[in-house]
Amino acid sequence: MGFAEWVQVVSVAGLICALLISHLQNRNTARQAREAADQTRAARQALERTGYQGFMRAQADWRSFTYVRDPELLRWHLQIRGYPVDTDEANRRTLYVLLKLDVHEESFLSRRSGLLDDDIWVPWQRVLDADLRVPEFISLWSFARPFYAQSFVDHVDKIFDHQAAVEAVDTAESHSLPANGQFAPSLAEPPAPEGVPPPESSAA
């Protein structure tokens, strides 16, 4: 192989190396750009979430402080929102239900955003399920639905549907008891919300 051919081989090899290095650099740049975009998106979501939490907390604090001290203002507020009004005591219970729903919605959205761990979310989900069995929560939910995030509304509606299905099964079973007259208690959990990571299972 002559000198000119060696020069050509070396040139081609150098070009291949340069292209390979350029490709690796481009991949690294693209990866860094994706990571930066992910970090920016996460920071924006965290900022939005913090702003929403601050807004909800300020609204809840203002309502609980103002309306409890002024029954007539509370009555007016419930009326213009379309909630049923009754005695001052009943209206305060309505206010409590609405404030509790605000807390449940904030917890749900925090979980959906990945900001709540299982050890917080799982017991709080049981609190939500228990609250939705209280008559005041049941009767007020149809009036409150328009004022909450659609994802939270869908989750609450699924819990109500699940509770109704369990009650229907329990009623049917109570009318057709087996010979021993006993049934194991239902331990079914409410349905997991869409977009919310399921709790991690732990070995016994």
Q: What is the pLDDT of residues 2-15, one digit of tens each?
A: 666 665 666 666 66
DSSP reduced 3-state for 184:
coil
Confidence of residue 204 (pLDDT cuts 50, 70, 90): very low
Q: For the chain, which residues make up each domain, given as ranges?
A: 45-168
Q: Which residues contact 74 (CB under 8 A, 6 or more apart)?
A: 67, 68, 88, 91, 92, 95
pLDDT of res. 171: 80
- The pTM for the full model equals 0.60
Q: Which residue has the higher pLDDT, 180 or 81?
A: 81
What are the tens digits of pLDDT across the range 87-109?
Answer: 999 999 999 999 999 999 989 99
In terms of C-beta distances under 8 Å and separation of at least 24 residues, what long-range contacts does 46-53 make, across chains too?
A: 49/109, 49/110, 49/113, 49/115, 52/106, 52/109, 53/106, 53/110
Q: What is the mean pLDDT of residues 151-158?
A: 96
